[in-house]
Chain A
Amino acid sequence: MSRRTHHHAQQGRAGSSRHDGGPRAGLKALGLRSPGLTPSRPASSGLTRRSLLSAGIFAPAAALLSSCGDTGRTPADTLRVMDSYSNDPDYGIIGEALQQAADTVGVKLQRVAVSGQSLIQRVLQQGSSGTLPDILMLDNPDLQQIAATTALRSFDELGIPTAGYHDGVLDAGTYDGQVYGVVPTVNTIALFCRTAMFEDAGLDYPRTWEELRRCATDLTQGTRYGIAFCGNATYEGTWQFLPFFWSNGGDERHIGTPEAAEALGLLSDLVQEGSASSSVLNWGQADVKDQFVAGRAAMMINGPWQLPELSGLEDLDYEIVELPVRDSAQRSVAPLGGEAWTVPATGDRDKEELAAAVLTEFLSDSSVLSMAEQRFTVPGRPGLTAEFLRRRPEMDTFTDLIPDARARTAQLGEDWPTTASALYTAVQLAVSGQATPAEALHRAEEYV
């Protein structure tokens, strides 16, 4: 597989110094020893040597094979869980919620948290070796692709309640008419504004693109840019472009429309006019947050997962508002983010039932509210919004956005990744000034 070749590339580079000294040293050693070795050994010791040798070769292989078989087997009352909340505080919060659900059902959990980037690769490995966990977390845009492989059990068959969720949540979790996973708490992106900087400049928070451009220009001073956003060549760049694209009537099934070009024009203008650094082409969302915190950007586009860190900073006052729209009559359409929980088809009916029971508890009102409150994410069910806002009033902008938030895979399902790459390619082409927005979208469409 290509990944293996690349890995090899890295090792080859590091190992080449050894390689260079190797042959000569090795030859010398052989040349010194070989004359004395071959002739004078009696046959019997040759036999021993042979058997020793073969034992040496096969013993590790045998050990490897036998140990492989064992890892897939866990006791009947233990469920295996895999997710990508590998860092605290998320690791602990999710772990606690899972544990509570498991205690209620009366099972034990064996949880593995891997990094977000390697989750899909792990899922693929486990899928091909038949060792998928009993409960699996997936990023919501990946869910339909995995569901399309028949690797997941339908929630309706398992009896996990799927009523009362936001439309976007169900869109993300549905493949071919069946719900295969739901997102307990969701997120999206909005505009973060430094209060003091706006007051100094005597500006109101922007609600239209025109106002956004003016604010960004006025707030650009010295080493400070008006706005920071993420326009890099990954799905994060796509994710940050989507609210402008969708709010202006863009359609991911045909990206080369005038509406899409207008949205892209906004981002490229911000950079070309100098209100945003051209480094947005390389920044991830964490880099954007760093710029904002360091005062090198008066506004940023980012999500509530930054709040735990931002709220811990003393003299950082900011306001979160909805992302501006072109025409004030338009509604801001936000992309839906968040991680879905699923039950893989492991073939073990009893464990699938147990997993369904645990997930039902995990998705209960109190469990979802507690996770939402601690992780600054919005409950996936509108019925919980009022109680959530009572606990987290500062999240009101996000709770306003979620009812209209759109799932990335709602239209294209498992074909989304190709369009997602085309969209970030368009962003890169336009923002770097390689092409006009319309041209950029047209050229990117060729990739689809």
Chain B
Amino acid sequence: MSITSVHEATTAPTAPGQRGEGHAAPRVSARASAWRHRLVTALFIGPAVLYMLLFFGYPVVQNVIMGFQHYTITTFFTGEAPWAGWSNYTEVLTSPLFRTAAANTVIFTVGSILGQFLCGLGLALFFRRRFPLSGALRSLILLPWLIPLIVASAVWKWLLDTDAGALNRVLIGSGLVESGIPWLSSTGLALFTVIMVNIWIGIPFNAVILHGGLQTIPQELYEAGSIDGTSRWQAFRHITWPMLRPVVSVVLVLGVVYTLKVLDIILGLTEGGPANATQTLATQAYQLSFATFDFGQGAAVSNILILISLLFAAVYLRLNRRPVDE
């Protein structure tokens, strides 16, 4: 409303000749300017809305529809996708694989987030101090992020090989273990190993954002604290942590959303094996769609995944809004 009045005030003087031609004129110009204002607004919002609809709305809607269709290879050629109702969902949800994949997804996500966050926080706190080469080292943390995920997983697969992998060579050489540990080929260890690799990849994201958050905490608070004789732990507990909380919640929620849908690392390391030990909802969706070409069921699984991600996205939006409200 306030902007509209500014508009009237500025546009009215620009048309002085109209004023004497009857009292209907100002109202027309007011209406015209309101209309123009609405048009300008639409033009500003338009491209963004168009973009969202085209590149986010359309695929999501398509995916939801696909989940209710018998969408197979034939559909690509004939365009026929018979309506399947809920049958894709019942098939997927009752398949023995779904429960394994769902449980693995939870373990993978919780494990990855915990590890990434704790390591990231530790590194962020460490790099808050200034010391020689701290800048160079801090940028080195970003390295895992600069490597394409598929390359990273290929290299890790080499390093973690049971017999010839570098990690086991070191462990055997130093006398810590007798024979190679089957990091990726044991059903009990594979998920743990995949989580470790994913933590390695996720640390930069956590460290960088948390480090940014730490920078915004005023130094005066710590100075005041030190006058009161706080210990280092008390300073963290009562100054750093409360001040960092908004950033922490954002990091955690975004982390959950990213981790839920991790696909390339798992495919690169284990292909979901051994014996489905590292199968998650994301890999299951991929394999249904692109290995067995049952696009309908694949879409059903990814819709479930989208739904879970959306829940966390809603949490994220709430958390993000609160600081503005306050």
Chain A residues packing against B (C-beta within 8 Å): 1-6, 9-10, 12-14, 16-17, 20-21, 38-40, 42-43, 46, 50, 53, 57, 120-121, 124-125, 127-128, 145-146, 148-151, 223, 225, 232-235, 277-282, 294, 296, 417-418, 421, 425, 428-429, 431-435, 443, 446-447
How many Å from the CB of A6 to the closest CB on chain B? 5
Are A50 and B43 interface neighbours, CB within 8 A?
yes
Chain A residues whose C-beta falls within 8 Å of the C-beta of B205 in the assembled complex = 13, 16-17
Are A38 and B40 interface neighbours, CB within 8 A?
yes
Chain B, Cβ-Cβ closest to A8: B261
Are A46 and B40 interface neighbours, CB within 8 A?
yes
Chain A residues whose C-beta falls within 8 Å of the C-beta of B39 in the assembled complex = 50
Chain A residues whose C-beta falls within 8 Å of the C-beta of B270 in the assembled complex = 233, 282
Query: Residue B240 at the A interface, CB < 8 A?
Result: no
Are B76 and A128 interface neighbours, CB within 8 A?
yes
Query: Residue B95 at the A interface, CB < 8 A?
Result: yes
Are A279 and B162 interface neighbours, CB within 8 A?
yes
Which residues in chain B, 260-276, are within 8 Å of chain A measured between CB atoms? 261-264, 269-276
Chain B residues whose C-beta falls within 8 Å of the C-beta of A3 in the assembled complex = 286, 289-290
How many Å from the CB of A29 to the closest CB on chain B? 14
* Alpha-carbon gap, A448 to B319, bound state (A): 45
Q: List 11 contacting pairs A-B, 8 Å CB cutoff, sorted by A.
A: A3-B289, A5-B59, A5-B63, A5-B261, A9-B262, A13-B258, A278-B162, A279-B163, A281-B273, A417-B292, A428-B273
Contact of B290 among A121, A150, A151, A296 (CB under 8 A): A121
Among A38, A418, A432, A443, the most chain B Cβ lie within 10 Å of the Cβ of: A432
* Alpha-carbon gap, A125 to B43, bound state (A): 34
Query: Residue B186 at the A interface, CB < 8 A?
Result: yes
Instruction: Name the prevailing secondary structure of the A interface residues.
Output: helix
Which residues in chain B, 270-308, are within 8 Å of chain A measured between CB atoms? 270-277, 282, 285-287, 289-293, 295, 298-299, 301-302, 305-306
Are A5 and B302 interface neighbours, CB within 8 A?
yes
Chain A residues whose C-beta falls within 8 Å of the C-beta of B182 in the assembled complex = 278-279
Chain B residues whose C-beta falls within 8 Å of the C-beta of A425 in the assembled complex = 275-276
Query: Residue B78 at the A interface, CB < 8 A?
Result: yes
Chain B residues whose C-beta falls within 8 Å of the C-beta of A146 in the assembled complex = 73
Stretch at the interface among B6-14, B120-128, B132-140, B226-234: B6-14
* Alpha-carbon gap, A281 to B275, bound state (A): 9
Chain B residues whose C-beta falls within 8 Å of the C-beta of A21 in the assembled complex = 212
Beyond A5-B302, A43-B36, A447-B97, 12 additional contacts (C-beta under 8 Å) are A3-B286, A13-B258, A127-B76, A128-B76, A128-B77, A149-B73, A279-B182, A282-B273, A296-B163, A432-B277, A446-B95, A447-B95
